[in-house]
Amino acid sequence: MRTLRTLAATMKADILERTRAYSFLVTIAATLYLGYLVNDGTIGVHMGNCQPVPNSAWTGMVMALCTITFVALVGFYVIKNAIERDRETGVGQILAGTPLRTMLYMLGKLLSNFAVLAIVTGILAIAAVLMQLFSGRGLDIPALVSPFLFLALPAMFFVAGTAVFFESVKLLRGGFGNVLFFFAYSALIVLPMETGIRSVDVFGLKLAMDRIQADVRIVQPDYDGNFSIGAGAKEFKDSKPMVWGGLPWTAESLGSRAFPVVYGFALSLIGAALFDRFASKSGGSRAGRLRKFLDRIAGSPLQRIPGWILLPFEALFHRFASGRILVAELRLMLQGLSWWWYAVALGLWIASLTADLTSARQDLLLFLWIWPVLLWSGMGTREKRFRTGSILFSAPRPLARQLPATWGAGFVVALIFASGILLRLAMSGETAGFLAVIAGAVFIPSLAIALGVWSGTSKTFEAFYVAFWYIGPAHHTPSIDFLATTDRAVSAGTPVVFAVAAAVLFMLALGGRWRQITAA
């Protein structure tokens, strides 16, 4: 009984902390907007030329599939801070000295993660019921709600367990894990589709897709199996209506939905075995890096002044020009990288010089500008992470010097990685392509610094950039190909749009930094 009370108290404290956060309110607002887009028909499930009748069964299935596809991905980044928050606030060190068992602590984090995701899923389910009720198309609550219960919730439990596991492993705790999850999530969606193995269908998309496709073939015998979830045309030319009867919940289908729950528990148990129980090993090294950074900015004056006489910041900052701040920001951004990171970067750069120009733009540029994502994600967040805002913001002209230098360091990194392609474009006389790549190099640090300043965490940029990179440039979608990997994107004027967006984002970053300075 005491164990249950401890578990309940751990869950309650964590859930209250999450639901009172600003990020949770933003997630709820985005969730409701997603429900509106699904009800409006802007986002939906598309199968060739078939147009399903929007009855309760179909509305519930579409809303549940969109929940799995979009909310599960974003939800991971929302909940992946439960253990890290205890670590940063010092609560974890206090808990480490109590009799609270690691397994019980991890179980509380797992259930609180699931509770947060379940709240978001429940809000979408309620929204689906209300939208169907007021649409006048008839309401069948069991048919509408069952996809949320048997498809979405088990998927959310798996995501909750994955978040606990990622936070327990040191390598996956930071930005690398944030980027890796996106690709793992994409692989877990594709894998059951390609292999047909139900045990790896943790999101239930294969289960739903098989039944939907079978019913579509009854209405449309020449159906080619095309299936997509996302934005698309609301109406189809010569569309064929289909009345969706819902997914039959047999013992076999319900049994397959137990796999994500089992996996979620298993990942949490593995995470508990690997968890360091808040052992402090990196504090000294982080403090040392911060001291070196401050000494570098000041030209190492404290090493030469006897008796630790502190000089005014104005005197220190007159010692160097803006170029030295840029160099300091660049060195800070690049410090701590392993030799193999530079080896991979060098290999990609050499490949961009040797491959044909079309392949270099369409394929290699993608990898060249995804490799430094963890460098860009720290822009605008270090002041909060290392709690140095009061120091840096008290320096002369922090808006005119420090923030542009941070942006400049990110821009230089983008230019260095793309320099091989830029050189070849210049030599080939492809001015439009050259300027398009420059526009991408301007947009990336602007996005990074704006999201970093306003969110205060690197996860926002890591999640958004990787997803945007995957949907746009990786699929060569002209309207959102901010890397301008194809001539279609250039001719569509996409680089101009993102150059303007970069200017807007930088102004937003300035506004956010001004807000931080005045509040400091």
Helix (H) or strand (E) holding 46: strand 43-46
Q: What is the pLDDT of residue 312?
A: 47
- 249-275 mean pLDDT: 92
pLDDT tens per residue, range 387-442:
777 777 777 777 778 889 999 999 999 999 999 999 999 999 999 999 999 999 99
Could you tell me the pTM of the whole model? Answer: 0.75
- 72-77 mean pLDDT: 88
Evaluate if residue 22 carries a pLDDT over 50. Answer: yes
Which pair of structure tokens corresponds to residue 157? 């439990």
Query: Please, are residues 128 and 59 in contact by the beta-carbon 8 Å criterion?
Result: yes
Separation CA 452–CA 120 (nearest Å): 25
Evaluate if residue 320 carries a pLDDT over 60. Answer: no
pLDDT tens per residue, range 225-246:
778 787 654 455 566 778 888 8
Q: What is the mean pLDDT of the chain?
A: 83
Which pair of structure tokens corresponds to residue 518? 């005045």
Which range (135-149, 304-318, 431-445) has the least confidence? Answer: 304-318
Q: What is the pLDDT of residue 126?
A: 93
Which pair of structure tokens corresponds to residue 46? 């598309």
DSSP symbols for 203-219: T-HHHHHHHHHHHHHHH
Q: Are strands 228-231 and 43-46 parallel, antiparallel or unpaired?
A: antiparallel
Q: What percent of the chain has pLDDT over 70?
A: 89
Evaluate if residue 293 carries a pLDDT over 50. Answer: no
Q: What is the pLDDT of residue 319?
A: 46
Q: What percent of the chain has pLDDT over 90?
A: 36
Q: What is the DSSP letter of 371?
A: T
Helix (H) or strand (E) holding 386: none
Other C-beta atoms within 10 Å of 54: how many? 18
Q: What is the pLDDT of residue 336?
A: 79
